[in-house]
Structures are given as C-alpha cells and as structure tokens.
Amino acid sequence: MTPHNNANLGDIAENVLMPGDPLRAKYIAENFLTDYKLVNTVRNMFAYTGNYKGKKLTVFSSGMGMPSMGIYSYELFKFYNVKNIIRIGTCGAYSPKLNLLDTILVDNSFTIGNFAKALNNDDCHLVHSSNKINNKIQEVGISLGYNFKKIEPINSQETINNNNNNNSIYLGNTVCSEVFDYYADDFEKFISVFPKDLNIIAAEMEAFALFYTAKYFNRDASCLLSVVDSRFRNQEISAQDRETSLNNMIKIALETAIQLD
C-alpha cells in the first residue's frame, strides 16, 4: 500500500486503463468487466480490477492534472509492477478538422511545464507515447473497422469540417496544460508559445506526466482522447455524456490492453 492507494500487491493487473474521472472508471467496470472488485478507494480515486474476455485488467482513475497523474502512474509502475498504461481521456480540439466526440491517438505530448525537471532534473518538454502500444491500438482499430488519419495543418483555402466521421481515429500531437485553457485570460497568447512545427491538434492535462513517468521506469504508456469541446464550435457535451458516451474509445482500449505483453 501507498499513501494514495490501498490496493494490495496482486490486486492490480499488469495492464491498466486510466480515465481521469473516478466515475468513468466505475462506469467501465460496471459495463465492460466481469467479476470485478473495487481495489482502491483512497480519496475516492476508484480503481477496479476484473476480467475482460477472460483477461485480467485494472481500470484506475488518475484525477485531473499532471501532479495527480504523476503520483498514480509512478506508484503503479514502481510498487505494483504495472507494465502498460493506456490513458482514456477527454480533450479540447485545437484543429477545426476535429468534431465533438472524434477520437485522437496521441503521438507526442508537449508541455511548457516542469514536470520532468521536478521529477528527474530533466529539462524535457516533449515526450513520445509508446510505439508498442500505439501500433497495437492501430492494429486493433483497423480490425474493428476504423481508419487512422494524420491531421495536417489547416490552410486558408480549407473550410471547417462539420461532419463527424465515426470510423476515423486521428493521429497527432497534443499539449499537456497546467491550466484549463478556457480559463486563460488571453487564449491566443496562451497558445503562441507552442512550437509551430508540432502542429498541436488538441489540449488535455495528464498525458505528458504519464508518458514521462513510463519512460522513467522503462515501461509503456499511450493515450486515447475523445474531443469534448472545441474553440471552433459553440458546442460542448455534458458531464454525463463525458462519462457514458465514450464507448468507442473505451472498447478500442480494452481490446488493445488484453493483447499487450
């Protein structure tokens, strides 16, 4: 046990799915796992271990932000012998080519923050997700009828896409922010410091900490995201929808997790 986790050694599987929201972890356990049990309740950061298609899996909530993700992923890798973590989260779109509830597979996560400096005295601000897991996600996704598309920078001749393509998963780089970007006083100034060559397509708040911690322990981590808001649209989905309507992303993550070494 740790100060943040009251699971016993052996209660947590080698392969873990990590939503941010504890209620999403509960939703996944109740709707997708069999013979599941609640293995962590500290700070109501729920974790459930059960079976998916006969394979042992854990769904462990991370909470919001890099500090919270950093704590839980560090402890899972170091103390609970976890090998692979797939974050399944939500994001805001930075590309007009993305629609609400589109799915993103993260390639690189960029941050202007100092998570790596604080953990490991490493002046690192860009970290890659696991090639092993990303390749498996693409293999699984294709078998389920999805295609994977790289989002290129928009040019002045293109128009905003208003048609959801539920069969596509978009590959791209994301920013991992220390603040909820909608609260930034000057959004354009906020995004102006991001390297232009990265073509950042979305923002979230946990992936950099997960990827860097996995790298630190020589383990593997990836991130699937569903778009739940966009600066290009006067639309958003409710908190309840964020909890329950992300099943496509969840299913791909589950199918991937049971095939990982």
Give the SS3 label for residue 84.
strand
What pLDDT digit, counting tens, does each position of 84-104 carry?
999 999 999 999 999 888 999
The Cα–Cα gap between 75 and 213 comes to: 10
When computed from its CA atoms, the radius of gyration of the chain, rounded to whole angstroms, is 17
The Cα–Cα gap between 197 and 260 comes to: 32
DSSP letter, residue 236: B
Pairing of strands 103-110, 220-230: antiparallel
What pLDDT digit, counting tens, does each position of 124-179 carry?
999 999 999 999 999 999 999 999 999 887 654 445 555 556 689 999 999 999 99
Per-residue pLDDT of the chain (261 residues; tens, 9 = 90+): 788 999 999 999 999 999 999 999 999 999 999 999 999 999 999 999 999 999 999 999 999 999 999 999 999 999 999 999 999 999 999 999 998 889 999 999 999 999 999 999 999 999 999 999 999 999 999 999 999 999 887 654 445 555 556 689 999 999 999 998 888 888 888 889 999 999 999 999 999 999 999 999 999 999 999 998 888 877 667 777 666 668 989 999 999 999 998
Count of C-beta atoms within a 10 Å radius of residue 70: 21
Query: ∠ CA(94), CA(62), CA(53), 5° rounding?
Result: 100
- Residues 21, 102, 107, 229: which is the catalytic one? 229
Active site residue 197: no
Length of the chain: 261
The Cα–Cα gap between 117 and 120 comes to: 6
